[in-house]
Chain A
Amino acid sequence: MSVNFGSKRIVVGAHYGLRDWLGQRVTAALMALFTALVLAQVIFSKGPIGYDQWAGIFAAQWMKGLTFTVILAMLFHVWLGMRDIWMDYIKPVGLRLSLQVFTIVWLLVCAGWGIQILWRL
Chain B
Amino acid sequence: MSESATSAAKKRPEFRNINAFTDLPTYRLPLAGIVSILHRVSGAIMFFLMPFIIWMFDNSISSEISFSKFKSAFNIGMLGLPGFLWKLVALALVWAYLHHFIAGLRHLWMDTHHAAVSKEFGKSSAAFTLAVSIGLALVLGAKLFGIY
Binding site for B on A (CB under 8 A): 25, 28-29, 32, 35, 51, 54-55, 58, 78, 81-82, 85, 88-89, 91, 103, 106-107, 110, 113-114, 117, 120-121
**Complex CA distance for A29 and B50, rounded to whole angstroms:** 20
Nearest CB of chain B from residue A6's CB, rounded to whole Å: 9
State whether B44 touches A85 (Cβ < 8 A): yes
Residues on A with beta carbons closer than 8 Å to the beta carbon of B58: 113, 117
Q: Which B residues from 8 to 26 make CB contacts under 8 A with A?
A: 17-18, 20
Nearest CB of chain B from residue A86's CB, rounded to whole Å: 11
State whether A51 touches B51 (Cβ < 8 A): no
Residues on B with beta carbons closer than 8 Å to the beta carbon of A85: 40, 43-44
**Complex CA distance for A17 and B63, rounded to whole angstroms:** 44
Chain B interface residue count, CB cutoff 8 Å, equals: 25
State whether A32 touches B104 (Cβ < 8 A): yes
Interface of B (DSSP majority class): helix
Residues on A with beta carbons closer than 8 Å to the beta carbon of B60: 51, 54-55
B67 at the interface (CB under 8 A from A): yes
State whether B40 touches A28 (Cβ < 8 A): no
Q: Which residue of B lies closest to A82 (CB)?
A: B47
**Complex CA distance for A90 and B26, rounded to whole angstroms:** 19
B5 at the interface (CB under 8 A from A): no
Interface string of B63-78 (1 = CB under 8 A from A): 1100100000000000
Q: Which B residues from 21 to 63 make CB contacts under 8 A with A?
A: 40, 43-44, 46-47, 50-51, 54, 57-58, 60-63
Nearest CB of chain B from residue A73's CB, rounded to whole Å: 13
**Complex CA distance for A110 and B58, rounded to whole angstroms:** 12
A and B contact pairs by CB, cutoff 8 A, 22 listed: A25-B107, A25-B108, A25-B111, A35-B101, A51-B60, A54-B60, A55-B62, A58-B61, A78-B47, A81-B40, A81-B43, A81-B44, A82-B43, A82-B44, A82-B47, A85-B40, A106-B47, A107-B50, A113-B54, A114-B57, A117-B54, A117-B57
